[in-house]
Structure 1
Amino acid sequence: MAQASFHPLDQDLQRLRRRGRTTRRHRRRSKNRTEESREEDAGINDLALQLQDSHYLSQAARRAQVKVFVEHTLSTGVVGLIAEFKAMKRGNDFSRMREFVAQIPQGRNRYKDVGCLDFQRVMLHLGPVSYIHANYVSTPVNSKRFICTQAPLPNTCADFWYMVVQEKSIAIIMLCNFVEQGSRKSADYVPLSFDNKTYNFDGVIVTLKKQEYFQFPIETRVHIRVSFLEVRVPGLSPHYCIHYHWQDWPDRGVPDADLASIYLLTKIQTTTAPIIIHCSAGVGRTGSIVLLQNSLELLQSQQPLRDIASDLLALRKQRNNSVQTQHQYLYVHQVLLNYLQKMKYLDDSINPYLEKFTADYEAATKGF
């Protein structure tokens, strides 16, 4: 695989518009360990530049910025964080989800027990219906940073693409597979093969223009298929966007807690349009990524990183029941600790505590 690059997302789209042609993904070329180490070091430096975080602050200022989060996480420990998560009860207040309830007979909700809040609900102005199971979610630097949504159903694929075009979204993150453990998790809403590169959803035409795999500058078992798409809605100019399909995040489980998720977020962080993100229900895996982005933006804007619990409660007020499992909650903490350690936020003296937390994390999430 070619050396990883982190061109801003809009540059990728500009190249797609210029080319107007399809290419196949390149296979990974083998590298020796020296080459991999050089690439990883370069990638970490690029990561800091792309995020434009507080990397240039003094060592003392950087440690002060994350002090509350690190002390709370390590002192609470894995067992304590599990208890913390369980104390944040999930549920559905259907009095705050009136449109969700009204749409149940229409079959536009994937799960009856995963409600969609009226607050921050995306309303469609394109297409024949206004309802879609989706909510705007804010982060520290953008009031509409994400649109968290359920995976499309066979009868909502056109609605999904109307939303993409309406919101001018250029980045879509898919965190589930179409079928998992024999159960259908998403309709086939995006073309993923050049053998069948164009889908037509009630006149909305989606065409695959280019496809490759995300090139990480680190060793990781994560595979993200990147599809460059053209979307045509009758009467409007073509819309171009990029679909990132994380192919191996287990339902209700977690992937390796390396920096793969951080690199993905870095790639798309330049866009100001809402990032559309979904798993099957659009709350579990989806909420985990949103929490990570929220923390990255706190660092970027030089705000203190505190406890994740308060951020999760704020997120759930916008996208109900976000983060479904204790393992997902732990994953967010472990990824952030790994990131902070890699980016030199942490003093070496706490390494034994980090190692203990990581060992406990791996034991708690083993098999999930």
Structure 2
Amino acid sequence: MALHGNHVAISTQKMVIEQLKKKRTADFNAEWKDLSKKITDFSPFEQFFKNESKNRYNNVYLRDETRVTLKTGEYIHASYIQSTPEGQKLIAAQAPLQTTTEEFWQMALQQKCQKIIMLCRVVEDGKIKSQQYWPKAAGETLYFEKIDVQNINVLQKIYKIGGKREVIKETKIFITDSKTKEFLHSLIHVQYENWQDFSIPAVTNPIIDLYHSHFRTNKSGSMIVHCSAGIGRTGCFVGAFFAYELFSSSQLTSVKNQMSTAKVIKKRIAAVSKLREQRVQAVQTASQYVFLHILFIDLIQPNIEEDLSQLKERFMTIAKRAAEVEKKRRQQKS
């Protein structure tokens, strides 16, 4: 079933695929080098430096212009991402710290958030990646100064892929006033645990399902997406769909407005650049940048009458090789 069959020129989508077929490792490396230029101007990050204790990492910057501001005046490491043509309002955020958990929930309440998508575990390889900021068990409640956060129920979607078991957990959350016990808001907390930090998943099925089940269906209110730092896995996830939406705009509905190959390349790269203008350092590694393209292929596949599995496999090989190189570099630094 075509996702945007009435809105996207199919010939333009085919042009995108033909352009992607020509890509090799050197092409990805050149694009990534251009995208990942070293930050030299730190003036747009004033509030980041003023609130060091509330930043999970001291080298993951937050742009003042796009940061989420709370009515309480409290600082939170979260960025607005431009709404897509579908109407979604996105916020990319770092995982809550123990000292910022209530602010995180205040943000969800203030923004009338309908979904929170969490792309990490609380602990990975013995390192804390997120505060356990939501109640895990059905019926459990976390109590804060101004609000209470209650777990109503938990559903699990199980994927059996290549002998492995992957799970997406969906938790229904109620937020109430801590003093009056008045109901304030409800949302769905979605957690995908099988995406390790600085790495890429072995398969795309659960992530694409996240898009179909939650990203595309979130027509009202906002959505928060976070991993640990809120730039790597979060940037890759949001970036793939951000790029897809750019190729699904009304400008591509007629033959007259179809793009040249050069413009296709520029628009694809521009999707990540535009994302980084809003969430600094979004898409953290070269392997994630390649994996973003794999997700993009999965999204565009329903409109293309062609088997793209070999293209995906080739890109996955490139991504895995890049991930291995990145892993060795991290080990050498540690």
Q: What's the counterpart of residue 186 of structure 1?
A: 130
TM-score (norm 2): 0.82
Q: Give me the whole-angstrom Cα distance separating, in 1, the residues matched to 2:50 and 2:22.
A: 46
Residue 253 of structure 2 corresponds to residue 316 of structure 1: no
Shift of the alpha carbon at 1:331? 0.5
Mapped contact 2:68–2:79 kept (Cα < 8 A): yes
Of the three residues 171, 191, 213, the one matched with 2:156 is 213
CA RMSD of aligned residues (A): 2.9
Q: What's the counterpart of residue 230 of structure 1?
A: 174
Shift of the alpha carbon at 1:198? 0.8
Residue 235 of structure 2 corresponds to residue 287 of structure 1: yes
Structure 2: tracts of 5 or more residues without a match: 253-258, 328-334
Mapped contact 1:147–1:274 kept (Cα < 8 A): yes
Mapped contact 1:85–1:309 kept (Cα < 8 A): no
Residue 67 of structure 2 corresponds to residue 124 of structure 1: no
Q: What's the counterpart of residue 84 of structure 1?
A: 31
Aligned residue for 2:282, secondary structure, equals coil
Q: What's the counterpart of residue 145 of structure 1?
A: 89
Shift of the alpha carbon at 1:237? 3.4
Identify if the C-alpha distance between structure 1 residues 168 and 217 changes in structure 2 by more than 3 Å, giving closer, same or farther.
farther
Structure 2 counterparts to residues 1-368 of structure 1, below 5 A: 45=1, 48=2, 51=3, 53-54=4-5, 61-67=9-15, 69-88=16-35, 89-91=37-39, 93-104=41-52, 107-125=53-71, 127=72, 129-141=73-85, 145-194=89-138, 197-214=140-157, 221-234=165-178, 237-268=183-214, 269-271=216-218, 272-304=220-252, 306-307=264-265, 308-341=268-301, 343-345=302-304, 347=306, 356-365=314-323
Number of equivalent positions: 308
Mapped contact 1:206–1:229 kept (Cα < 8 A): yes
Among all aligned residue pairs of Structure 1 and Structure 2, give the percentage whose two residues are the same amino acid.
31
1:111 is aligned with what amino acid? Y
Aligned residue for 2:288, secondary structure, equals helix
Point out the more displaced range, 265-274 or 166-175. Answer: 265-274
Q: Give me the whole-angstrom Cα distance separating, in 2, the residues matched to 1:115 and 1:256.
A: 29
Q: Give me the whole-angstrom Cα distance separating, in 2, the residues matched to 1:354 and 1:312.
A: 20
Aligned residue for 1:244, secondary structure, equals strand
Aligned residue for 1:170, secondary structure, equals strand
Shift of the alpha carbon at 1:365? 4.5
Point out the more displaced range, 357-366 or 291-300. Answer: 357-366
